[in-house]
Amino acid sequence: MGDSPPVFGRPSEASIREPMLRARGGAATAAVRAEGASTGWWTLRAASVVGVRHRLAGQAADDSFAWAHDGSRVAVAVADGIGSVSGAGRAAERAAVAAVESALRARPEDAVAAANEAAKGGGATTLVLAVLTGAGQADLVRVGDSSAFVVEAEGAWRELFPPPDEERSGTDTAALPSPEPPVEAASVGLSGGAVLVLATDGVTDPWRDGPTTVAPALVAGILGRPAPLELAALADFSRHGCHDDRTILCVWGRPEGPAR
Q: Does 145 bind other proteins (CB under 8 A)?
A: yes
Instruction: Kindly tell me which residue out of 159, 184, 185, 255 binds other proteins, with binding defined by CB under 8 A.
Output: 159
> Which among 50, 42, 84 is positioned nearest to 172, based on CA atoms?
84
# residues contacting other proteins (CB under 8 A): 53
Instruction: Kindly tell me which residue out of 213, 225, 230, 254 binds other proteins, with binding defined by CB under 8 A.
Output: 213
Residue among 69 and 208 whose Cβ is closer to other proteins:
208
Instruction: Kindly tell me which residue out of 69, 107, 208, 254 binds other proteins, with binding defined by CB under 8 A.
Output: 208
Instruction: Kindly tell me which residue out of 5, 36, 89, 144 binds other proteins, with binding defined by CB under 8 A.
Output: 144
Q: Does 181 bind other proteins (CB under 8 A)?
A: no
Distance of CA 140 to the CA centre of its chain: 13
- What is the Cα Rg of the chain in Å? 17
Quick one: DSSP state of residue 22? P
Sole window of 37-45, 109-117, 183-191, 242-250 interacting with other proteins (rule: CB under 8 A): 242-250
Considering only residues 47 through 66, tell me which ones interact with other proteins, judged by CB under 8 A: 51-54, 56-57, 62
Q: Does 126 bind other proteins (CB under 8 A)?
A: yes
* Contact criterion met (CB below 8 Å) for 245 and 61: yes
Instruction: Kindly tell me which residue out of 45, 78, 80, 98 binds other proteins, with binding defined by CB under 8 A.
Output: 80
CA dist 135 and 219 (Å) reads 24
List CB contacts of 157: < 8 A, sequence separation 6 or more: 149, 150, 151, 215, 219
Three-class SS of 97-159 = HHHHHHHCCCCHHHHHHHHHHHHCCCCCECEEEEEECCCCEEEEEEECCCEEEEECCCCCEEE
Q: Does 172 bind other proteins (CB under 8 A)?
A: yes
Q: Does 120 bind other proteins (CB under 8 A)?
A: no
Q: Is the dihedral of CA 146, 199, 31, 95 positive or negative?
A: positive
CA dist 160 and 158 (Å) reads 6
Q: Does 98 bind other proteins (CB under 8 A)?
A: no
What is the binding site for other proteins (CB under 8 A)?
Answer: 9-10, 12-14, 17, 51-54, 56-57, 62, 80, 82-84, 88, 126, 144-145, 154-159, 163, 166-167, 169-173, 175, 201-202, 205, 208-213, 215, 239-245
